A = this chain, B = another copy of it.
Amino acid sequence: MGDEVKLLDFWPSMFGMRVRVALALKGVPNEYVDEDLRNKSSLLLQMNPIHKKIPVLVHNGKPICESSIIVQYIDEVWKDKAPLLPSDPYDRAQARFWVDFIDKKLFDGGRKIWATKGEEQEEDIVLIGYYTWFYAYETIGNFSIEAECPKIMSWVKRCLQNESVAKSLPDPKKVCDFVLQMKKKYGLD
């Protein structure tokens, strides 16, 4: 192909993980660049001058930003293998609706659990997303996602049966350690 694909990312980012999973499912070779978010590289600032955020996919020198937009881009460019969105327009719209829902609700729900203390944590607990952060949520929020949301957990297990998916995600315990460090740093422990 001659394609040069670089992913500017940060390993615990659930948004970055989306892109990693998409690239793995499509079998797209890429150079992974782990950013230090307190000291962002000049490449990141140059490639995403608007939001200055990871993930950014740099494809043959041109940047694509925002994880759900990157995933659609990957699906449209590498369309011969592993379709990521349904082919029917109505089904595509439904898929996009839930991506949007996850972006709007689950991220905020998860953030509340690690970035707050006490009572507030009880809000939105059923809305928690993203498997690699589940262990951290469970540890910090003191509840079991498997007990509260068995269907989500069985979906997670089905996803992890796919080797490309499993291999492109970090260890949930490593994510939990990271979150506990963050809480400490911000005086939230």
Q: Hey, which bits of chain A sit against chain B, CB under 8 A?
A: 50, 59, 62, 64-66, 69-70, 72-73, 76-77, 89-90, 92-93, 96-97, 100-101
- How many copies the complex holds: the figure is 2
CB distance from A37 to the nearest CB of B (A): 19
Listed by A's residue number, 22 A-B pairs whose Cβ atoms lie within 8 Å are A50-B101, A62-B90, A64-B90, A64-B93, A64-B97, A65-B97, A66-B96, A66-B97, A66-B100, A69-B93, A69-B96, A69-B97, A69-B100, A70-B93, A72-B92, A72-B96, A73-B89, A73-B90, A73-B92, A76-B89, A76-B92, A77-B89
Name the B residues within 8 Å of A93 (CB-CB). Answer: 64, 69-70, 72-73
A96→B19 CA distance, assembly (Å): 16
Name the B residues within 8 Å of A65 (CB-CB). Answer: 97
Name the B residues within 8 Å of A77 (CB-CB). Answer: 89
Name the B residues within 8 Å of A76 (CB-CB). Answer: 89, 92
Please, which residue of chain B has its CB at the minimum distance from the CB of A48? B97
Name the B residues within 8 Å of A70 (CB-CB). Answer: 93
A165→B145 CA distance, assembly (Å): 48
Instruction: Give the one of A69, A70, A92 with max B CB within 10 A.
Output: A69
Name the B residues within 8 Å of A72 (CB-CB). Answer: 92-93, 96
A70→B92 CA distance, assembly (Å): 11
Name the B residues within 8 Å of A73 (CB-CB). Answer: 89-90, 92-93
